[in-house]
C-alpha cells in the first residue's frame, strides 16, 4: 500500500507542481504537496479536504463512488442543486486517472477560442470526433457532449479553474484543447481545483473507502456497501448513486479478456483503474457497450509506463524512426499513429523536438526530471546520443522545417501542429512506444447519465459518468475528449441525480 501511495503522490506532484504553475498555483500546490506527504493509509482528515472515516454517516441524499474528476464534478453540481452528497474513494488519495491527464480539455465555441480569433463550431467538433471514433460513437451522447462543452469551460471558471491556453491534439482541425494559462499539464491543476472546491463546499470526501456493492430494493438503487481501511464494512443508504470509478485499464484480466493482443503492453493507468464500477453495475443488470474498444496511446515511455502528452506533438514535435526518418502523420488519430510505430522493426520511435516546443509544452520539464529526455546541442549530437544516423536525422529535420514554412507536409499530409519549425537549439528526444491508455467501453448510459439495462430501461436511482461509461468515444478516443467527458457528464450526473433524489424526499 505504501508503494501505491507514493506512486499517486508523485503523480500529484508532477501534474500540479513540477510542470511550472503560475505563482498562485504554486502556493496552492505547495500546500497540496505538504498535505499529500502527510496523508496516511489510515483515515484522518487532511489539508487535502479528505474527511475522517469516523464522520461517515448512515445516509446521504447522493453517494458518489470515485473521487476522480467526474466524481468531484458530480458532487459539486449536486451540492449546487441543494443536495447533501458524499464521495467514497477506494484509493488513499483523490484524483484517479484525472491526475495523470496531460494535454487538456476539448471544447468548441468557447470564449477563449473567440478571443484568439479561432472560428470553431460544435458541428465541426461533432464530425471530427465521429470520424475519430470510426463513426461508431453514440450520436446522442456525442451531440450532448459537444453542445455542452463551452458551458463546461465556463463552469470551471466559476470554480477558479481557468483553462485559457489553447493547443491542438490528433484528429482535430482547430485549437480546441484548453489547458492552464501557463501551458502546464491539466491533471494536477484540475484535481487540485476540484478538491479545493469540494472542501470549500463542505462535501465529505472519504478515502480508503472501497465500495464493494451497490444495493437496491424493489428495483431501485438505495445505497452502497463500503469497506473502510480494508477492515469493517458499512452499509450507507442514499436516494441516488453516481458511479464515477473509471475504466479498467489497469486490470490485466479484463484487458486480456476483451483483447488478448494486449497481454504484454504497459499501461498508463493508475493502479485503482480496475473496472470495479462496471462489475457492480453488471450485477444489477446494467448493460455495457464497446468493451473491446481499448485505446493504445502511441507515445508512452516504457520503463515507467508514463504517457508523454499529445501536447508535445501538438506544439510541433515530430516522430522519427531509428533510421532517422519520419514515418507517419504525427497528428493523426491515436490508433493510426500507434499502428505505424508498431510496424517499425524496433516497434518504438523517438519524439524529436527543439527548445521552442519545450518552452510551449511545460510538461517536458517533468519528463526531463524523470530521465526521459535526451539532449543535444545540435541535431547531429542528438542523433549520435540516440544511435541514429546523424546525416539522416539532420536531413529529416531540415526537410520538416521547409514544409512547416510552406505549410505543406508533402510526405504525410500533416496539417496541424505546424505553427513553428524545429530550429531553436538545444534539441531533444524521448523514446516512446505504444501503451494501454483508455478503455472506450463501459456501462451504457443515456444523455441524462441514467444507467441502462439491456432493454434500454434505466435502473432507477443509478447514474454514471466518465470512463466507467461507454459509447461516447466509439472505436477511438480523441486526445482531450476524456477531460471534457468527465466535466460535461460529471455535471449532468450531479444535476440528474439531484432531481431524482429530491423527488424521493
* Catalytically active residues, by annotation: 334
User: From start to end of 218-320, where are the E strands?
Assistant: 220-228, 233-243, 288-289, 294-301, 306-307, 318-320
Which are the contacts of 402, defined by CB distance < 8 A and separation ≥ 6? Answer: none
Question: Following CA atoms 143, 98, 61, 232 in sequence, which dihedral angle do they give, to the nearest 10 degrees?
Answer: 140
Angle between helices 186-200 and 69-80 (to 10 degrees): 30
Burial class of 377 by CB neighbour count within 10 A (0 to 12, 13 to 18, 19+): exposed
What would the 3-class secondary structure string for 395-413 be? HHHHHHHHHHHHCCCCCCC
Q: What size, in residues, is the chain?
A: 505
By the 8 A CB rule, do 97 and 250 touch? no
Dihedral of alpha carbons 112, 116, 121, 127, sign: negative
How buried is 300 (Cβ within 10 angstroms: 0-12 exposed, 13-18 middle, 19+ buried)? buried
> Minimal CA–CA distance to 446: which of 232, 145, 236, 240?
145
φ, ψ for residue 354, nearest 5 deg: -115, -175
Residue 294 neighbours by CB under 8 Å, 6+ apart? 249, 255, 258, 259, 262, 436, 438, 439, 440, 441
DSSP class of 17: I
Could you tell me if 316 and 395 are in contact, meaning their C-beta atoms sit under 8 angstroms apart?
no
Strands annotated E in 254-325: 288-289, 294-301, 306-307, 318-320
Looking at 390-455, list the stretches that DSSP marks H as alpha helix, in order from N- to C-terminal side.
390-406
Pairing label, strands 442-443, 288-289: antiparallel
Instruction: Find the angle CA(423)-CA(118)-CA(419) to the nearest 5 degrees.
Output: 10
Instruction: Identify the CA nearest to 170 among candidates 415, 411, 443.
Output: 415
- Please name which of 94, 103, 110 lies closest in space to residue 147, comparing C-alpha atoms: 110
Q: Any alpha helices (H) in 14-68, and if so which ranges?
A: 23-38
Those residues whose C-beta lies under 8 Å from the C-beta of residue 308, and which sit 6 or more positions away, are 102, 299, 300, 301, 351, 367, 372, 430, 432
With residue 153 as reference, give the H or E element that holds it: helix 149-158
- Residue 167, strand partner residues: 177
Amino acid at each position: 500500500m505504501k508503494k501505491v501511495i507514493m506512486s499517486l503522490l508523485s503523480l500529484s506532484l508532477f501534474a500540479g507542481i513540477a510542470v511550472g504553475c503560475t505563482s498562485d498555483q504554486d502556493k496552492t500546490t505547495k500546500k497540496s504537496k505538504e498535505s499529500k506527504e502527510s496523508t496516511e493509509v489510515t483515515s484522518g482528515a487532511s489539508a487535502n479536504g479528505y474527511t475522517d472515516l469516523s464522520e461517515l454517516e448512515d445516509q446521504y441524499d447522493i453517494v458518489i463512488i470515485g473521487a476522480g474528476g467526474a466524481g468531484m464534478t458530480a458532487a459539486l453540481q449536486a451540492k449546487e442543486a441543494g443536495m447533501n452528497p458524499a464521495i467514497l474513494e477506494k484509493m488513499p488519495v483523490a484524483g484517479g486517472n484525472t491526475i495523470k491527464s496531460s494535454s487538456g480539455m476539448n471544447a468548441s465555441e468557447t470564449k477563449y477560442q473567440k478571443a484568439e480569433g479561432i472560428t470553431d463550431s460544435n458541428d465541426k467538433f461533432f464530425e471530427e470526433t465521429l470520424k475519430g471514433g470510426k463513426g461508431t460513437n453514440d450520436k446522442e451522447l456525442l451531440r450532448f457532449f459537444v453542445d455542452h462543452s463551452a458551458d463546461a469551460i465556463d463552469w470551471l471558471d466559476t470554480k477558479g479553474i481557468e483553462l485559457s491556453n489553447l493547443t491542438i491534439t490528433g484528429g482535430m482541425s482547430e485549437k480546441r484543447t484548453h489547458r492552464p494559462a501557463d501551458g502546464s499539464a491539466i491533471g494536477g491543476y484540475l484535481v487540485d481545483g476540484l478538491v479545493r472546491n469540494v472542501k470549500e463546499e463542505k462535501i465529505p470526501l472519504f478515502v480508503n473507502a472501497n465500495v464493494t456493492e451497490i444495493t437496491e430494493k424493489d428495483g431501485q438503487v438505495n445505497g452502497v456497501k463500503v469497506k473502510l481501511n480494508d477492515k469493517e464494512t458499512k452499509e450507507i443508504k442514499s436516494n441516488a448513486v453516481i458511479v464515477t470509478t473509471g475504466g479498467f485499464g489497469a486490470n490485466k484480466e479484463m484487458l486480456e479478456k476483451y483483447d488478448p493482443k494486449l497481454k504484454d503492453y504497459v499501461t498508463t493507468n493508475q493502479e485503482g483503474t480496475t473496472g470495479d464500477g462496471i462489475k457492480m453495475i453488471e450485477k444489477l443488470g446494467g448493460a455495457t457497450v464497446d468493451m473491446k474498444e481499448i485505446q493504445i496511446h502511441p507515445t508512452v515511455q516504457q520503463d515507467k509506463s508514463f504517457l508523454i502528452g499529445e501536447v508535445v506533438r501538438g506544439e510541433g514535435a515530430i516522430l522519427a524512426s531509428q533510421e532517422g526518418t519520419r514515418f507517419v502523420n504525427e497528428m493523426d488519430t491515436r490508433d493510426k499513429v500507434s499502428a505505424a510505430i508498431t510496424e517499425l522493426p524496433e516497434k518504438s520511435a523517438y519524439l524529436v523536438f527543439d527548445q521552442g516546443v519545450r518552452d510551449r509544452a511545460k510538461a517536458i520539464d517533468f519528463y526531463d526530471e524523470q530521465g526521459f529526455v535526451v539532449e543535444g546541442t545540435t541535431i547531429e549530437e542528438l542523433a549520435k546520443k540516440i544511435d541514429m544516423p546523424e546525416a539522416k536525422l539532420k536531413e529529416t529535420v531540415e526537410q520538416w522545417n521547409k514544409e512547416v514554412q510552406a505549410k505543406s507536409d508533402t510526405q504525410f499530409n500533416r496539417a496541424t501542429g505546424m505553427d513553428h519549425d524545429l530550429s531553436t537549439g538545444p534539441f531533444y528526444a524521448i523514446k516512446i512506444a505504444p501503451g494501454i491508455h483508455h478503455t472506450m467501453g463501459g456501462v451504457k448510459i443515456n444523455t441524462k447519465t441514467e444507467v441502462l439495462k439491456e432493454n434500454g430501461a434505466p435502473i432507477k436511482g443509478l447514474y454514471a459518468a466518465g470512463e466507467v461509461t461507454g459509447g461516447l468515444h466509439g472505436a477511438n478516443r480523441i486526445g482531450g475528449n476524456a477531460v471534457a467527458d468527465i466535466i460535461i457528464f460529471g455535471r449532468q450526473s450531479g444535476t440528474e441525480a439531484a432531481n431524482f433524489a429530491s423527488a424521493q424526499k
